[in-house]
Structures are given as C-alpha cells and as structure tokens.
Structure 1
Amino acid sequence: MPRTLATVEHAVHLLELFDADHTEWNLSSLSRHVGKPTSTVHEQLTTLCESGLLTRAGRGRYRLGWRLLKLASALYGSLPWYAPAHAAMERLARRTHLLAFLCVLDGSRVLCVARSVQGRDGPPVAGELDFELPAHATASGKLLLALAGRPLPSPAVAFTDRTVTTAAGWSTESTRIRQSAHAVTANEWASGTGSLAVPVRGEDGVVLAALGISLPTPRLRESDTLLRALHDAADEVSWQLGYRTPTRAGSSEN
C-alpha cells in the first residue's frame, strides 16, 4: 500500500475511534488501542489537530474538532431528503416511544446516519451507538440489501441462532422483503432485540434510506401497529420528495 494512502487510512481510523462512548482519548490509550508506537500516533494526532479535525482538550487528551461540523453541514446540505426524514424519525420516536433511526447503504456497508434523541422509553437495545450495522442481522440492513438486489454478505456472521447466514435463507427473506416493502428482525443480532424498517424513496422511486425502529422483542406483538406508523412516516417524506406510492390497505393517504 502506498505510504500516503496508508497514512490517510490510519488517520481515518483514529477519527472513527471517537464516538458517544469515547468522546476523549489520551495519547497512551490510543497507542495501546491501535497497537502503534506513541511517536507515530502523536504525529498523526498533531496533523489532525492542525487540520481542525481534532482539538486538544487538556494535557495529552484529544476531542473531535469543530471543522467536522462544517463538513457534516455540507454533507447534510447536499442531501435534500435528510431534513424531512430526520424530522419524521423524531416524530416516529415520540409516537412509538422507541429508538428510531435512519440508515443508508454505502457500498456494501449499512451506516446508521441518525438516531432519535427524544421519545425513547424502555430498556436498552443492541447497537444503540453503532455507526456501522451488520447488514444481514438488522431490519434496516436487510431492507436496503434486498431492495438493492444485493447478495448475503460474505462471510455472514451468525450473531445468534436466528441470524440468516445461508444463500437459500437470504433468497427467501429478500423476496419477502421486496414483496412487503418492509423488513423485520427478532433476536437476530442479539437476543431480546428486534427491529422494523421501511424505505424512504425519492421522486424516481429510488431507495434513499431506511427508516426504522429498534425494540425489545416482546413489543413485536405490536408489529402491525408499528409498521403502519413506520409506513405513514416514510410515505410522508417520500411524498414531499415527489414519490407517489400506491395506497396500502389500512394506511392513511397523504
């Protein structure tokens, strides 16, 4: 690998280590975590600080820098669907009292680009803070893969005995998802956690994102009611974006 590319990849990896659970890192902890000499990591951290992507937060400690907000604003501004979808996600969370989220397909990865910050009521569920989700074990991942006509990821890790890990199983599952326009998981990523997801579409019908909720599996008894809420929220956004979806039985017209 060319040295410049390797340097960029190492810098990106360092940035990705900062999340809701690790808002600050010190040099020695980062060095141990990535398995590299402190001198190497210090050089990378210094470069990231000089670029504004990181900032020093006291002696030997680092936080994400303000420049990332500028980049995030530019990204969100380039996505006309993000603002209405985000608002619908928050309304859905308040309506269902569950953790709601938006996910996108980025190449072969499923990324959670937004989570609700209000309305949530109940015990924790798997993956609450994860940015990249297992595509074959989450409702959003399965929905996005199926609607894009993608195969099962290889290797397909078996998180539980309910995880879909075979091509035959995925063929059946993806066909059902395309026919129903929603995806469901129950104890497939972690025991006790389930999820539901539906698509948000643009004017030409292309799938832009998955709108979903995570919930304790006992609440899947309410799946019919929750799916109506999900479809209504996603359809409202899709309508604003110019997509005209056929009316489903039992759902409200936009």
Structure 2
Amino acid sequence: MSEDRSTLARTLAILELFDETRLEWTPEQMIETLGYSRPTLYRYLKTLREAGLLTSLPGAGFTLGPKVVEMDFLLRKSDPITLGAQPHLDHLAETYPCTALLTRWYGGRILCVASECRTTSASSYPRGRPMPLARGAISRAIMAWLPRRQALPLIEANMSDLTEIGLGTTREDIQKSLREIRRSGVAVARGEVTRGVVGIAAPIFDSAQAPIAVICATTPSELLNDTAEAALCDDIRDAATRITSALQDRRAGTDAAPSSAETAETH
C-alpha cells in the first residue's frame, strides 16, 4: 500500500509541474526537474496520457489533456459550494457594478472557481488562475478565520507583503489586524491586487467551522460610495452565511440518511 501511495504521489508530481509560467514540458525537462529515471518517467507519462490527463504531439512536449476539461465540466455540475453560491454571485453582479467571485482555499492556494460580471470591470484573476496569498480581501478572509496554528506560519512566510499593505510591522500587530477583520465579519482591501479596485470578501465554512471558500466582490473605487460599500458588505456577509448554512444542512441531511444496508435491513 505504501508503494502504491508513493507511485501515486510521484505521478501527481508530474501534473504539479504545469503552471502559468510553463505550460509545456519535454520529458528531458521533467527528468531534470523531478529526478526520475527515464523508464520510470515514461511509465508515469504513459499512464497519464492514456487517462487523458496529458497529451503530446510529435516533436512537441507534453501539455495538459482533454480529461482536465471533462473533469472541469463535472466539477461545475456537482460541486455543492459552486452550485450554492451561484444565485448569490448572480445577485451581486446584477445589483452592483462589480465582479462577483467564488474562490476555493486548498493546499495553500487560493483559486477562483466561479465568477459573474455584468460590467466591464473584469477581475485580474479569472476562473482557474491562482490568486496572491497575502494580498487582497480574499486572502484576508481566509487568514483571519484560520486557526492560530495554521495562520501563524502563513503570517511568518508573508511578513513583507503583510507589512507593505499596512496590516502591521510585527506578528502581533498583524494578528490584531486579523482579529479586527474577524470581528467585522468581512474583509475589505483597496487597490492591493488591482490598482483602483476595492475588494470585499467573507469566508464560507465547512462543518468544522474552518474556512474552505470565499465569496467576494471587486469594483472600481470611484463607483463605490460609503452607502453602497456598506450595503455591499452586508450582502457579502449574508451570502457567506447562507452558503455556509446550506452546506451544513446538506451535510446534516447526508449524515441522517440511512445507508443502503440499513434500508435493506428494514424491509
């Protein structure tokens, strides 16, 4: 079993190579980066290519394959967070001159998974593009609600960015700023990711009350007066609360549902 896990991890490491800075890899580049032997690498590549996760053309390197697109389609159809957030994204985009976004927090990354926009104010980080970890309202809506043992390493790893945006010059100062954000229930950032754009964000929680996603609206600062900003903050907080409640209700319903074996025993 341990060997199977090791093989899986080494295979997945090949997929992790692909990012915005390098979209195509040759086997030689993979060998140099990962340190795999040629026979081992080609065995993994064969598996990934047959699964449709990678593809290649004669004389070219490997790129991500069509299975990724198929899985993305299935994700959009099945993810309860995305499905639950969509009506709220629609409402925000229709009510305010903004881009409404749903982002997911996973493996130390923040990723936009859905967005709606009814104006020309498009986000600099469209669906699928990882976002900055220590800048903007979305990152703070994660960091402010993380348990201390998870937040401290992030603070220490991103001290320079957090200091530059004005959260504080020491770890204690930054923790205090994050606590204030937590008390307000919403994070607001001005021009930190895109100049002249205000971001307002609130976290969505799992059943253990850990932040797993964020709903956010970004809008040009000149289109947002104090009254509109207060209303938008209220709507963002309300949307996050409603999505969280729906997820918890769904989980409670799943836990309460009898298993097929239990159902069979009662008949």
Give the alignment's TM-score, normalised by structure 1.
Answer: 0.68
Q: What is the match of residue 141 of structure 2?
A: 143
Long gaps (5+) in structure 1: 244-254
Q: What is the match of residue 238 of structure 1?
A: 244
Give me the whole-angstrom Cα distance separating, in 1, the residues matched to 2:123 and 2:194: 8
Q: Which moved more, 1:180-189 or 1:76-85?
A: 76-85
- The code of the aligned residue for 1:188 comes to E
The offset of 1:173, in angstroms, is: 1.5
Q: Is 2:152 the partner of 1:153?
A: no
Q: How many residues align?
A: 232
Contact 1:126 1:193 in 2 (8 A): no
> Based on CA coordinates, which of the two structures has the bigger radius of gyration?
2
For residue 226 of structure 1, the aligned residue among 228, 232, 235 is: 232
Q: What is the match of residue 65 of structure 1?
A: 65
The offset of 1:171, in angstroms, is: 1.5
Q: Is 2:63 the partner of 1:53?
A: no
SS, match of residue 11 in structure 1: helix
SS, match of residue 216 in structure 2: strand
The offset of 1:56, in angstroms, is: 4.3
Give me the whole-angstrom Cα distance separating, in 2, the residues matched to 1:59 and 1:87: 46
SS, match of residue 223 in structure 1: helix
The offset of 1:130, in angstroms, is: 6.4
Pairing 1:120-135 to 2, within 5 Å after superposition: 120-122=119-121, 124-128=122-126, 131-135=129-133
The offset of 1:111, in angstroms, is: 1.8
Identity %: 21
Contact 1:143 1:198 in 2 (8 A): yes
Change (3 A) 1:31 1:205: closer
Q: Deviations over 1:217-238 (max 9, x none)?
A: 4445342122122223333323
Long gaps (5+) in structure 2: 250-267
SS, match of residue 212 in structure 1: strand
Pairing 1:77-156 to 2, within 5 Å after superposition: 79-107=79-107, 109-122=108-121, 124-128=122-126, 131-149=129-147, 150-151=151-152, 152-156=154-158
Change (3 A) 1:226 1:242: same
The offset of 1:63, in angstroms, is: 5.2
The offset of 1:167, in angstroms, is: 1.2
Contact 1:57 1:63 in 2 (8 A): no
Contact 2:203 2:214 in 1 (8 A): yes
The offset of 1:25, in angstroms, is: 4.5
Give me the whole-angstrom Cα distance separating, in 1, the residues matched to 2:118 and 2:185: 25
Q: What is the match of residue 165 of structure 2?
A: 162
- The code of the aligned residue for 1:225 comes to A
More helix by share: 2
Q: What is the match of residue 15 of structure 2?
A: 12
Change (3 A) 1:223 1:70: same
Change (3 A) 1:45 1:181: same
Pairwise CA RMSD: 4.1
Give me the whole-angstrom Cα distance separating, in 2, the residues matched to 1:58 and 1:98: 45
Q: What is the match of residue 185 of structure 1?
A: 189
